[in-house]
Every structure is written in structure tokens, then in C-alpha cells.
Chain A
Amino acid sequence: MSVKFDQVSVGDELAAADVTVTRADLIRYAGASGDFNVIHWNERVATSVGLPGVIAHGMYTMALGGRYVSDWAGDAGAVVQYGVRFTNPVPVPDDDNGATVTYSGKVTATDEVARTVTVTLTVLSGGQKVLGKAIAVVRLP
């Protein structure tokens, strides 16, 4: 299933999605990405450098946002540009519930010539904005 360019207008909203992030997810992402920074798995080190505890990789919350947009577009190869600013860390507690990150998005521009749409994401966790200036440009058929 794929969204068509002609079906999309500025102001359209993507259905919001809650994503649960647990310690196990962070370990799996560390292995898959090769980012083994200890603050993403070691409570002792994380608190010693002034963090509230183990935090999610910023690149993990960004990656989940990329999945959110490509699932909407129906084609992971359609994301031609994607950028974020890391504004607040996502602490991930050592329990079975983890942290909840909420993704929502809005179409903020369309380009008839390139047949691309710009989606601006809002990414929240614990009432805080965790990604700022989160913008993806997607080419649609």
C-alpha cells in the first residue's frame, strides 16, 4: 500500500503512533548500528556523567521516526531527505514497560515538480520534545 502524490495536501495529518522502547531494544539497536556508547546500556556510567539513567540512542529515536514516515509512504526507498535535532534525551527505565515515544506528523509542503512531500514530525516522550526540526522529504508516485 502506497500513498499517491495527488492524494496528499498540505495540512494532512499522519495518524499518531506510540512506540515502546525498552532496554532490550537499546541493546539490539547497539548491536545493529555498531554504536556501543556505554550511556545507552550502563546505568552506573550514565548517572556518573549526570544523566537521569540509561538513555536511548538519539539515532534510535530518529530511526523509529524514519520507520514511521516510510510506513506511511509505503516505500522505505522513498525517503529522500530526513533530518532532526536532538533536543532532549529519552531515559529508558530498567523495567518491562520501558519508555513510550509518541510520533505524529503533518504534511507541511508539497513540490509538484519533484513530486515530493515534506512531513514535519512531532516526537514526544514524557511530555518533552525529544526531536526538534524533525523533517522528512518523501517522493511519492
Chain B
Amino acid sequence: MGVNPQIAGKTYTGSPVYEVGREKIREFAQAIRSTDPVHTDPEAARALGYPDVVAPPTFAIVIAQRCEGLVMTDPEAGIDYSRLVHGEQKFTHHRPIVAGDRLTSVAHVDDARMMAGNGRVVTRIEITDAAGEPVATAVSMVIIRAEEQA
């Protein structure tokens, strides 16, 4: 139950390359009801100096959560996904994500411990582009609630 603290320090590669598409950025921007043309109009994005449409500031979660899934479903972690609560999320953008990016993600478990019966896991996803340059770092903290608190 909770989480196996032994996974602290573990690294997970193998998340498939994520290809950022214009229509996916448009769909995400519409879902957050953004009307900023930088998300939908390549010309507007180029006018601001970007090579193509720019993803909204939290779009990286789409890529990060796929990679984080490798941690959450690792049999060694022993995590019951249905008891998982998102506690904290932080993004650092080394550069904006734009349409056309081919992004690779690696998950690092920065912390995994039991606290008062609950599991607590801090995962850091490092997202890099096709040239290997850093694009974004997404850090999440999740709590795996103890049974008796259900």
C-alpha cells in the first residue's frame, strides 16, 4: 500500500516520442477557452518570433503525464492508481513548446516515502527536443491516500 520507497532515485525512459501538432495545441487552447492567436495562428506566432504556434503554459502536462504513467504503473512502485491525489505541480519552461517539436521525456523519481500512512511521490519529468536540448521540466507531487482515510 502507499508506495515502495525503494523506487526513489529510479529513472524511467521508454516513453515514446511526442510529436506536437498544431491541431492538438488548438484543441488544448480551446479547452481552456483561450482566444490568444499565438496558439492557433502560425502568422501571429511568427510575428512574436516563434517558429510555429505556441502551446499554453500548462500544455506540457499532456506529455509529462504519459511519462509519469511509467512510474505509477511500475509493479515495483506498488501504487494503487485509484487512491492517487495530485498535490503539487510545477513547470519550468527552458523554451516554449511549439508545433513541430518532437519531444522525448524521461521520468526521475526524486522522492518516494510513506508519511502517516500515505504514500508521497515526487516525480520530475525532463522534456528535451530532437536535438537533445532541454525544453521543459515538469515536477509533480502526488499523494497515495491510505485505505482507512477513504
Partner-B contacts on A (CB < 8 A): 19, 25, 28-29, 31-35, 49-50, 58-60, 62-64, 66-67, 69-71, 75-77, 79-86, 133, 136
Contacts and interface: CB of A to CB of B under 8 A. Distances in A.
Contacts of A84: 88-90
Interface residues of B, number: 35
Contacts of A49: 82, 150
Nearest to B85: A86
A66 to B, nearest CB: 4
Contact of B91 (A33, A64, A82): A82
Nearest to A26: B31
Contacts of B96: 76-77
A70 B91 CA distance: 14
5 contacts: A28-B30, A58-B89, A62-B58, A67-B33, A79-B93
Nearest to B93: A80
Contacts of B91: 81-83
Given A31-B27, A33-B62, A71-B36, 8 more contacts: A28-B31, A29-B32, A62-B89, A70-B34, A70-B36, A75-B48, A84-B90, A86-B88
Nearest to B48: A75
Nearest to A87: B87
Contact of A83 (B33, B48, B82, B89): B89
A83 B54 CA distance: 19
A113 B32 CA distance: 32
* Residue in B30, B57, B86, B139 with the greatest tally of chain A CB atoms within 10 Å: B57
A59 B86 contact: yes
Interface centre among A35, A59, A63 (most CB of B within 10 A): A63
A16 B82 CA distance: 35
A59 B33 CA distance: 14
Pairs A-B, 8 closest by C-beta atoms: A83-B90, A77-B96, A66-B57, A32-B31, A79-B57, A63-B58, A29-B31, A32-B28
A31 B31 CA distance: 9
A77 B62 contact: no
B32 A76 contact: no
Contacts of B58: 59, 62-63, 66, 82
